[in-house]
Amino acid sequence: MDFSIPPAAAALLAELRAFIHQELLPREPALLRAGFLASESELDQLRQRARRAGLWGPQIPKELGGLGLSLLDHALVSEQLGYSPFGHYVVGAQAPDAGNIELLHRYGSDEQRARYLLPLAAGQLRSCFSMTEPEHPGSNPTQLSCAARKGADGYIIDGHKWFTSSAEGAAFAIVMAITDPDAEPHRRASMFLVPTDTPGFVHVRNIPIFGHAGGGYDSHAELRYEACRVPLEARIGPEGAGFQIAQERLGPGRIHHCMRWLGICQRAFDLMCERARTRELEPGVPLASKQTIQTWVAESRARIDAARLLVLHTAWLIDQRGFAAAREQVSLIKFHVAELLGQVLDRAIQTHGALGLTDDTVLAFFYTRERGARIYDGPDEVHKAVVARRIFSAAARATRLEGPVR
């Protein structure tokens, strides 16, 4: 079993690390103060620098202008990018665009690819993914009310969505809507491309998260689709395939999220260690001399490293055998890394004392933006139930074949 990183991947990681520390981190405080919306011009300049450095689109196929990395290699890259809130954005690897690129590359028609995929992969526009509804539990995507009624020349979409991330400023939405309410639950919905300038596409508001509504890419919108008319060609894939496409989109996406979260964990860990090492409780007595802090540091180091191996193994398994073979592992990493993220951030903030609550470090930004990690893409409790059911099922099969455990 070889745990070494291939030379090509190691070289790319070194280049990314240098770019983040030399180009991005020095600008990060000013970018955070201004916000994404006001910083778009400077972020576009950073994107151009990343492109010139050969760092654009690690997850984007080579034929679309990206690096075409495997899921495992991109997982390693995603951890490096997660060190800064702007890391994924400046190399074109940010959600929801990354998932939408994968979706359109796999299921889009030639016309859809030309109109939407190519400019999206080139970073010329942004997109959003519109599935969650306030009237139904997000943990059960088969329960939707948004409907697409089929006519002779297209579909009419009516519905209410929220937590459509990055909708403000997006050029188009990928919308999940019911096309056959009488079908079995996993065949009721289809996906549609809806340009955001379509009559009836209503951006109601950016939803405040812990008091911050955000703006532009850094926002979560409430939307209404009021008799939105789209042509038949706006449907992605077969009618009734929406749930299947969503699941395939979410699988690799959870790898991306988990490794991004580990990058955040590493940033919080580094800040915690620096604060503990340099903050003196009294002359000659650093915070790092206290056993509680030492325990937090040691446990955090062990748990971050263990979580990384768990996620990388899951990425390897998907690369080798496909998403279906890794369903249990994907649920495991989702709740495990999300909980770890909250724990490491909380300890880092506590170590900083009152400073940790302010915007003078990046910790408060991470804390408010990433608490949702335990909720979106399936809440922790659902993933734990999925894993437990699979474990019990496997145990029952083993008992039938080998007899009870003694």
Q: What is the pLDDT of residues 341-400, one digit of tens each?
A: 999 999 999 999 999 999 999 999 999 999 999 999 889 999 999 999 999 999 999 888
Domain 127-236 has CATH 2.60.120.10: no
Average pLDDT over residues 273-302: 97
Q: CA torsion 285→264→312→328, rounded to 10°?
A: 110
Query: Among 74-78, 128-132, 138-142, 353-357, where is mean pLDDT lowest?
Result: 138-142
Q: What are phi and psi of 215, to 5 degrees?
A: -170, 150
Of residues 218, 250, 258, the one with CA closest to residue 368: 218
Handedness of CA 278, 281, 285, 290 (dihedral sign): negative
Give the confidence band of 2 by pLDDT, cuts at 50, 70, 90.
confident
pTM here is 0.95
- Considering the chain, tell me which residue range(s) the CATH 1.10.540.10 domain(s) occupy: 7-121
What superfamily does domain 244-402 belong to in CATH? Butyryl-CoA Dehydrogenase, subunit A, domain 3 (1.20.140.10)
Give the confidence band of 102 by pLDDT, cuts at 50, 70, 90.
very high
Domain 7-121 has CATH 3.40.190.10: no
Q: Is residue 250's pLDDT more than 90?
A: no
- pLDDT tens-digit series, residues 31-67: 999 999 999 999 999 999 999 999 999 999 999 999 9
Tokens 């919108």 correspond to: 221
Which helix or strand (DSSP H or E) is residue 102 part of? helix 97-107
Q: How far is CA 124 from CA 105, 112, 167, in A?
A: 17, 15, 15
Q: Is residue 226's pLDDT more than 80?
A: yes
- Considering the chain, tell me which residue range(s) the CATH 2.40.110.10 domain(s) occupy: 127-236
Q: What is the pLDDT of residue 406?
A: 81
